[in-house]
Structure formats: structure tokens, C-alpha cells
Amino acid sequence: MVDQSDEPDRPADVPIGVDGVFASARRVVLREVEALLSRTEEEEAQALIDAVRAAGRVFVLGMGRSKMAVDAFAMRLMHLGLTVHVAADATTPAISEGDLLIACSGSGETPTVVCLTRTAARAGARVAVVTGNPDSSLARDADLVVRLREYSQDYRPSDSSQFVGTLFEQGAFLFFDCLVLVLEGSQHADAEAMFARHANLE
């Protein structure tokens, strides 16, 4: 969810190349995502991987497009055979000691996410936060933080050409997919077993 307490800056103009507007926009998006992911700290990513491995159960939490990214991560963890729940779903059990909550918020100030994260911490769960704002309320309350900072296509910080929050959400989705690939390899995951867990009520 976007922090609406401040007026967002106007996105930068997208330079149009000779091959058309879509090709130009595609280049901007791909370069910005590469800038974001290539600046993600290896140690922070590894800490989150280790926390997932160590958890009895994994719970995920987000709102808006951040929720879409972290929910997709939850699905892949389920395919890997982990016990995983999406916070606030009707069938989600109580979180407790030994569990891990992964909260995803670009601003780190989304009220519902902050409130539920603090509830999880009081219940004894470990809290991991994926955010674009390491000085946020979420980050301050977390046991571990992964920073996904927005950059322009030429690596200028906080200068994305896309609408506010868009690059973080794109980056979060792909960041979680990178974690899944690491977990697949380290657990010697069986593709057939993963496919067998895929939803058949579709």
C-alpha cells in the first residue's frame, strides 16, 4: 500500500526510442528492475532464506500489489512442501513461537500490515520485513529486514520513472522468485512432487 501522507513526485519522462513507445517503456522497466535487484544485499536475502528454512510455519502479509507478490511467494513455498499461510485468510490458524511472519510493504507504514505484524511479534513469532523504507515502523519492529530500494534505470536512487510503488512491487515479486529458486536447489526439490501439490480445484 502506498503511503498517502506525502504527495508523490511526478514520474520521470520516458525517453522514446526509434523502435516505438512500448519498446522504450520495456527497456525502462527492465533496467529499473535490474538496478533494484542488483543492489539488494546478499546477506539480507540469505538471512531471509535461512529464516524460512528454520521456521515451523511461514505466514505472509501484505496489502495491495505487495500482497500479490507475497501471496505468490506463499504459493511457491507450498509447492516446495512447506507449511505456509496467508495472514487474515479465513482458514489461517493462530501464529505462535517458532513461526515466521514475512511482511511486505514498500512504505513500511501500511497501517494494517504494521498492526498485524506487531500482533505476530507479541505472539512470539519471528518477523521478517521486505520494504523499500528501512527507517519505517515495520523495519524498526522486525527481526530481519530486506531492503528493496527503488532506482532509476541509470541507478539514481529513489528516481524511478514508474508511478510511486510500482518498481518496489515488481522487484518484490521477482525477489521472492529468486528465493524460491535458491530453496529449490538447496532442498533438491522434485519437480514432479511440486507439481503434484499444485491446485487442482481451478
Q: Which residues are the active-site residues?
A: 169
Q: Which of 48, 69, 40 is nearest to 148 (CA)?
A: 40
H or E segment and range at residue 67:
helix 64-79
Q: How many helices (H) and strands (E) does the chain have?
A: 7, 5
Which residue type is seen at 157? P
* Partners of 144 in the β-ladder: 128
Asked if residues 87 and 121 have their Cβ atoms less than 8 Å apart, the reply is no
- Please report which residue ranges of the chain form alpha helices under DSSP H: 21-38, 42-54, 64-79, 111-122, 137-141, 166-186, 191-196
Q: How far apart are CA 202 and CA 199, in angstroms?
A: 7
Q: How far apart are CA 71 and CA 76, in angstroms?
A: 9
Q: Residue 97 — φ and ψ, nearest 5°?
A: -60, 140
Which residue type is seen at 188? H
